[in-house]
Amino acid sequence: MDRSDPLALHLPDARATEALARRLAPRLEPGFVLYLSGDLGAGKTTFVRALLRALGFGGRVKSPSFSLLESYDLSKFRLYHFDFYRFDSGQDWLDAGFEEFIGAPNVAIVEWPERAAGTLPASDLHLFLRFAGDTAGEERIVEAVAGTERGRACLKALAPTDERC
């Protein structure tokens, strides 16, 4: 399937990033794959933390920057949160042996998927988070791109009310 046209969203602060995660949370289902790209500090882990809270996880949410993978047992599925920042190539992904964690019955969220380009399965939804403007303030722009029909349904749910189909 062709990727969708990007949906651009303005997030004025961390609360808006968290609200976006809460809107996406009820649409996750086993097999869902979400990619998160963006500069260091752009809000990828903040987004995942809010998503997990919205899914009912009350424990500590750690960034997998050093461990590469954190897993969370939720009521409807297990969520695997990957961070490939330290990968040098797609071969690192293949050598890590994480393939079994992506796909049903799990949900996978991958930060820095571009570090394993060409070796990862396609995502349902890819969010590109970037700073709005020249400073590292709280304001962000998110571009959301769907890679599947399931991802397209998520785009509709994430669109501002006046843009929903």
SS3 101: helix
Residue 51, number of CB atoms within 10 A of its CB:
25
CA 122, chain centre distance (Å): 13
This prediction's pTM:
0.88
CA separation for the pair 116, 53 (Å, rounded): 27
Residue type, 113: P
CA separation for the pair 8, 153 (Å, rounded): 16
CATH of domain 7-163: 3.40.50.300
Q: Nearest-CA neighbor of 44 among 134, 140, 124?
A: 140
- Show pLDDT as tens, one digit a residue, over the chain (165 residues): 455 688 899 888 889 889 999 999 999 999 999 999 988 877 788 899 999 999 999 888 877 666 678 889 999 999 999 888 777 777 787 778 788 888 889 999 998 888 888 888 889 999 998 888 766 677 888 899 999 999 999 988 888 764 443
- Yes or no: say if 62 and 83 are a contact pair by the CB < 8 Å rule: no
CA 107, chain centre distance (Å): 10
Q: Nearest-CA neighbor of 27 among 59, 55, 68?
A: 55
